[in-house]
Amino acid sequence: MMKLYREKDKLWLLIWLGGLLLLWGWNLLFLNKPAQAKVQSGLLNTFFISSLVIVFSAMLGWISGVGSYFLEKATSKIPYLTVTFFLNIIRSVPQIVGILVGYIIITVMIQDGSLSSTFYIMIIIAFVISLFVFIEISDLVRERITYFRRRDFYNAMLVCGIPEWQIVNREILWKNSVAHIFNKLIAVFGITVFLLCSIDFIVSVGLSTSVSAVNLPVTLGSLLAKIDSKQDILAIGYFITHPGYFPKLFFEHLQGITVAFLIVFTLLCIYKISNGFARRNEL
């Protein structure tokens, strides 16, 4: 028990999974079946897209980080400057704005019939989000390479005839930086849940007239934007002035409360898991 308390990442992972399980059980008892099905698919879609973002971001971050390192060493500086220039532009675009532009493109593609499968839509959404979050991984990769390049073993390995790409990819990143990258990917999962829910909420609230005709996958954000969920959330404010209303939140307003709780609880737990992991591995 004490060991688990000290390993905060494992503790919070257990709390997160336990919380989700408990909530699922509660909903099974008190939430109507159609709403329950919606919440389940919203949760699964959100986690599926977020997991895809992790995969895409890891790939893009690794490739761009290593690629820009080797381009910097090349004799011609033009490719390096071009790549850095575009990476800096992506960095300067607030993530939500970039993703919103991506959503407009996805909506246009759905409306003109070039995109119809929900599965592919989710993959493209994940890719769009990855484009605006992978920079963190790319920066970390560059940071790790710069850090290890100053160490003696780097030059020693070069002298031994080991190719530089092998030193960078295998010795530095794979053998000595996996924990760092994994920790960053946990944080990416959290930021993706936040961005995805926010963008889906915005699109469903503000652009509902233009996207309701197209089939964007249900996520926690779009579920929260539904009028019945919003009514449920409004009930929280009502409870502050009418404390006796508190128990009703868990029975009569379960859909909205569940969705809001899932978003906030997941963000909180991911933050704690990431911090715990960093502390345990002394990152």
**Binding region for other proteins (CB under 8 A):** 5, 85, 88-89, 91-97, 100-101, 104, 111, 194-195, 197-198, 201-202, 205-207, 209-210, 212-215, 224, 230, 233-234, 236-238, 240-241, 260, 263-264, 267-268, 271, 275, 278
CA 45 to CA 218: how far, in whole Å? 7
Residue corresponding to tokens 């989000």: 129
CA 193 to CA 203: how far, in whole Å? 15
Rg (CA), the chain: 22
Of the CA atoms within 13 Å of residue 69, those in its CB half-sphere come to 24
Nearest approach, Cβ of residue 96 and other proteins (Å): 4
Long-range contacts, stretch 236-241, CB < 8 angstroms, 24+ apart: none
Residue corresponding to tokens 């609880």: 265
By C-beta, is 55 or 93 nearer to other proteins?
93
Cβ contact 64:142 at 8 Å: no
Nearest approach, Cβ of residue 59 and other proteins (Å): 22
Kindly state the greatest CA–CA separation across the chain.
75
CA 118 to CA 218: how far, in whole Å? 10
- Return the structure tokens found at 37: 């099905």
- Other CB atoms within a 10 A radius of the CB of residue 225 amount to 20
